[in-house]
A and B are shown apart, each in its own frame.
Chain A
């Protein structure tokens, strides 16, 4: 078990950054989450999460090119660091373990357990 516990939203943000790969900047992340998970994400919430994750060292960011649509302002692209990736895997494994340990037949929807 690691020291930090990833929050659900933090986990979603990091996974989305992974999906977007080279194109993971603020607005793209927001839109991707909103589209995939059908929930609205405020800029404040997203950037608070991004800031915290960067602070913990799970994300790095760098500024990209400026475009006209953006009033000459650059994009900030995020990447998941190695320790971030470890954290994600840890979170995934924890979940899988939990799933595996549910006795079969308890969830009617999933009669075979996993």
Chain B
């Protein structure tokens, strides 16, 4: 059954008269489903909104509000809508500007709300903690996700308030069903996993994990392996890294991964199988498992602190490789936001800076739009001074006038909120979800939050931005207005300050976005250090597979060269430590076949590449990169000797540095290339003819299935390995540009609204000036005198502050920063000045074209 969005339903309930409440809602639901079926979702929602509004009148008739107030309010609504319609341009600018900002604000707040309520579908979420180990690293305590194996058992024995203690262990495995073979990350866990975390089940029951030979899979896995067949009871064969093969029976399928899950199992196995594989005793304190979670009876974790501290001592006594200083309990709601500070986390999320940063920007935009609105509202109100005076003379109290303005503001805010919700729903929300790479539902975590949010927006836009005109203007004395001694609006200090502030925000955000974008573009164009185009890397599992596959590859006409490597630049980077006297150098090491460096086109600076058919000789040689040579302090590395991997080797070549990770994810590292006599390659690397990589890929997959039917075929297109990082950069660019564009639009709208109003008001003045002989330069000067100082001041304050501030924080956003490009700042300034100038001149042009005989003709 299709139900309308919750928000729309709430709005509906607000509009519906009490007498027909239930049956009308039934009618609406029935109609809504028909409309969704026969028309479209969008149309159904629009029509529903229309129906809701059409019922408002009946609500007013049937509710018990006294008739006088009804008349007064309806009169206010009438005069307000007339006032709005009288200046359609300015009112639509106010509404559109506000709606734009409200749309952004809704999107960012939904995002924040979503991020803050990750994993909230687990009923125990507030009482669930991960036991995280504190490990000393370079005189600093670091957090490690893995915890000693026995800890869960001990906690269950020692602490009665521990309800569940769940051990989790992630492993890689080749998973096979029929002809489908893939490499997967599988999760071993205690049976209590199913009760500590309540991932919803589609088939099977929660007790399934108690049986050793069972496996539970996600819906995604069920489709991947079994297609449309029923997976329950089917056998899956898993081959683990140790080489053991084991058959499991599918005994449970999870429903689709909850959108707000910070982690979810894809293939879940009982933990006992892991112990079988590892031959581990589960009371070995020197062994670690990926994560241990505890669920407590109450929410106070402090009772466990002492016990955990005592475990640290036991752990240290076990004399393992890793000594734990202590343990910290991190609650599940907090866990995903701290994933960045935990080594090997199991749950992923954004840091709190990021979570609160977005709504901050959203609020800033909203404030900008409010300034706009206040400005325009103040100047529009000046036109109605006479109306106010008359109302006062006729006996209206000041409260009445205030109410009149507030009603008008509420009307504007209501329209803006409705339009803003629509903008958010149809544009910002889908756009933002696509950019963030996760699906964010268009909903708040709780109706309360949604209510508070919308009430605050309503109050902010309605009261705060309407208060100034309402309270200020209602104060004027009628006789002063009618006499004409109230001068107000055009020379108002208040609106000038607001405009200055607004332009300041605009300058800051535009310059900021452009600096970020410039930096991101710079990163995008950085050279990788080698040529990744038309290179295909295929994973092989042993030397026999490598030889057979290489033979198949060389038979393919489109393959230019085929080489092997153990570890592969960019895909399989293996660190090792080279001991040089007292110094330990963390180095990347690749064991390659001759021709590897030529295939990747890694430039040679000195010496030579490895030569073919000289394996004995070359097994005592090595090639290093510039970073390695610099680190060793060599002036000319060729001919230097070094013991590596138990062999004395001579350096025969020096290569340029290459990027093994995406720019900024890791620094350039020292690299060693060796060519052993008896290699154990795990990658076959093919260079194909331009544009033929996909065809070669297909042919190789066919060949691979013949050679190794039990192993998954995994391949990488070398030029695509950084695609995710590039997409991230692209998303950042889009996000920054969107913010900049919206703030430009807002400030132009504000300026336009204010100008068009004030200039129109002065048409008579311009008419007289022209009639008395003023030329257009004079008119331009008159207007410029009023607005140039505002733009200039905000420019002079905004630009230096923005440049300074954003240049300072750049390092926290990008790990590679480029020096500030003066052209970027110039470009930012040109964009903003041009758009402001176009806005201003379109109005000034109108003023210069004033025909005195027309504007002065009649009243």
Contact = CB atoms under 8 A, between A and B. Distances in A.
A82 to B, nearest CB: 23
Contact of A25 (B3, B19, B23, B62): B23
B51 interface: yes
A47 B20 contact: yes
B23 A45 contact: no
Interface in A23-67: 25-27, 30, 42-45, 47-48, 50-51, 63, 66-67
A68 B26 CA distance: 9
Interface residues of B, number: 26
Nearest to A45: B54
Contacts, number: 74
A7 interface: no
B58 interface: yes
B58 A69 contact: no
Given A47-B58, A48-B61, A70 B17 contact: no
Interface of B: prevailing SS: helix
A55 to B, nearest CB: 9
A66 to B, nearest CB: 7
B50 interface: yes
B19 A75 contact: no
Given A44-B51, A69-B33, A51 B25 contact: no
B55 A27 contact: no
A25 B1 contact: no
A25 B1 CA distance: 21
Nearest to A31: B31
A76 B27 CA distance: 9
Contacts of B24: 26, 43, 47
A111 interface: no
Contact of B56 (A44, A50, A63, A68): A44
Contacts of B56: 44
B23 A75 contact: yes
B55 A69 contact: no
A57 to B, nearest CB: 15
A47 B26 contact: no
A70 B26 contact: yes
Given A47-B17, A47-B55, A71 B3 contact: yes
A3 B20 CA distance: 27
B19 A71 contact: no
25 contacts: A25-B23, A26-B20, A26-B27, A27-B27, A30-B27, A42-B51, A43-B51, A44-B57, A47-B24, A47-B55, A47-B58, A48-B57, A48-B58, A51-B20, A51-B62, A66-B26, A69-B30, A69-B33, A70-B25, A70-B27, A71-B3, A73-B25, A73-B29, A75-B26, A76-B23
Given A26-B24, A43-B55, A48-B61, 20 more contacts: A26-B20, A27-B27, A43-B27, A43-B28, A43-B51, A43-B54, A44-B51, A44-B57, A44-B58, A47-B20, A50-B20, A51-B19, A51-B62, A63-B23, A67-B26, A69-B30, A70-B27, A73-B22, A73-B25, A73-B26
Interface of B: 1, 3, 17, 19-20, 22-31, 33, 50-51, 53-58, 61-62
Interface of A: 25-27, 30, 42-45, 47-48, 50-51, 63, 66-71, 73-76
Top 4 closest pairs, chain A to chain B, by CB: A44-B54, A73-B26, A70-B26, A76-B23
